[in-house]
Amino acid sequence: MSNPTAAMLVIGDEILSGRTKDTNTNYLAKALTEAGITLTEARVVSDDQGAIVAAVNALRAAYDWVFTSGGIGPTHDDITADAIAAAFGVHIDVRDDARALLAAHYAARGMEFNTARQRMARIPDGATLIDNPVSIAPGFTLGNVHVMAGVPSVFEAMVASVLPHLTGGPPLMSQTLRMMRGEGDIAASLGAVAAEFPDLSIGSYPFQSNGAYGTNIVVRGTDGAQIDAAMVRLNKDLSA
């Protein structure tokens, strides 16, 4: 399949300690699937500059787009913007356009625009700002890397700001066949159908219901007619 590829990079000790559940990867995965972009890899790294730089450089070289989540707030452990600048080897400082957005926001609320909050206006040279309608502090796009907030409501708003500007392939479609047979009973038929339709991805996901084994078979691809044909074959082979 020739759809564009993407990777997700989640940044944050709180995910790796188990304190916080990452929901951004699943949100992005669904949004990219609808947009015809294939999420091919996801990683979680800690709030460590070396780890962030190594992951960003590996992923931006391997995939068409990289999306990051987390580490762009005002506190000492928010080091993502500086790490992205280091990964690209570009200069970073408080930038006038981002500072103006934040200064107006805090002035309207009678809140101090102090040194910590000015950190959120640190933007690498050459980056484009990503609109944040929720809490103003912008994300940014540098090269093929989209740098976004970790708070889910802000992350999701930033995905909505970015996605319309990306060109996807044909959307990935799927059909699901649910049956009350165990995976081990249907594996041979599944394998044969998978071999017959090499352009489709055919996955099987076991479940238990009232003590009986069942399987959801999911057929994914970009060609609706092929998906239909595979579903007909599966229905015929597995209803025997």
Chain residues binding a copy of itself by CB under 8 A are: 13-23, 25-33, 38-47, 51, 73-77, 111-112, 114-117, 119-120, 151, 172, 174, 182-188, 190-191, 194-195, 201-206, 218, 220
**123-137: b (≥16 Cβ within 10 Å) or e:** bbeebebbebeeebb
110: helix, strand or coil: coil
- Between 76 and 89, whose beta carbon lies closer to a copy of itself? 76
19: helix, strand or coil: coil
- Between 33 and 80, whose beta carbon lies closer to a copy of itself? 33
| Nearest-approach distance from CB 151 to a copy of itself, in angstroms | 7
| Nearest-approach distance from CB 40 to a copy of itself, in angstroms | 6
- Between 90 and 151, whose beta carbon lies closer to a copy of itself? 151
Q: What is the DSSP string of 204-217?
A: EEEEEETTEEEEEE
| Nearest-approach distance from CB 24 to a copy of itself, in angstroms | 11
Which residue from 49, 59, 107 is spatially nearest to 81, judged by alpha carbons?
49
CA 85 to chain centre: 21
- Between 61 and 89, whose beta carbon lies closer to a copy of itself? 61
Residue 111: Cβ within 10 Å count: 10
| Nearest-approach distance from CB 124 to a copy of itself, in angstroms | 21
DSSP letter at 119 equals: G
- Between 13 and 131, whose beta carbon lies closer to a copy of itself? 13
| Nearest-approach distance from CB 204 to a copy of itself, in angstroms | 5
Task: Find the length of the chain.
Answer: 240
| Nearest-approach distance from CB 89 to a copy of itself, in angstroms | 23
- Between 125 and 176, whose beta carbon lies closer to a copy of itself? 176
Residue 200, CB-side half-sphere exposure with 13 Å CA sphere: 26
